[in-house]
Amino acid sequence: MKYAALTAALLGGMMTLTGCGQGKVEGKDISASSSAGDIGDAYVAELTRIADALETVDDEASARSAATEIRKAADGLKNMEEELGGEVSGMKAMQIFGNNYEDLANAQMRMMTALTTLQAEHPELMDIIGEETDRLGQ
């Protein structure tokens, strides 16, 4: 199943930082010098954006709309990855995600539940969002 890689990549996000909220959280630029809290908030915000989008998919139009939102979140994650230089040390990751653990776990669970439901109930819609969800695992 091609979505297994996405699942693994998203769940692995707690140990490596693959980006955050298009470089902005509450009007602040996110960079390598940003606080762990701001970085974590941005990361969780993008995962929540993806979960929200996935949970709306029930027909072709909503799948296309969700794909657009997932693309925006993926671009934000990629931009932040570049800004922060990729992987973050284990200690920094604990600082980033420690205060956001519950929100992070909730967003990841929502994403996985939505993907599993879509695959089971509307596999034809997975083709529409598949290209964008595949970008998340890269």
Q: Where are the domains of the chain?
A: 4-132
- What confidence score (pLDDT) does residue 40 get? 84
Residue 10 binned pLDDT confidence (cut-offs 50, 70, 90) = very low
- What confidence score (pLDDT) does residue 52 get? 97
- For residue 109, pLDDT beyond 60: yes
**Residue 51 DSSP SS3:** helix
Mean pLDDT of all residues in 90-105: 82
pLDDT in tens, 60-88: 999 999 999 999 998 888 887 777 776 66
- What confidence score (pLDDT) does residue 8 get? 43
Checking phi first, is residue 27 left (phi over 0); if not, alpha (psi -120 to 50) or beta?
A: left
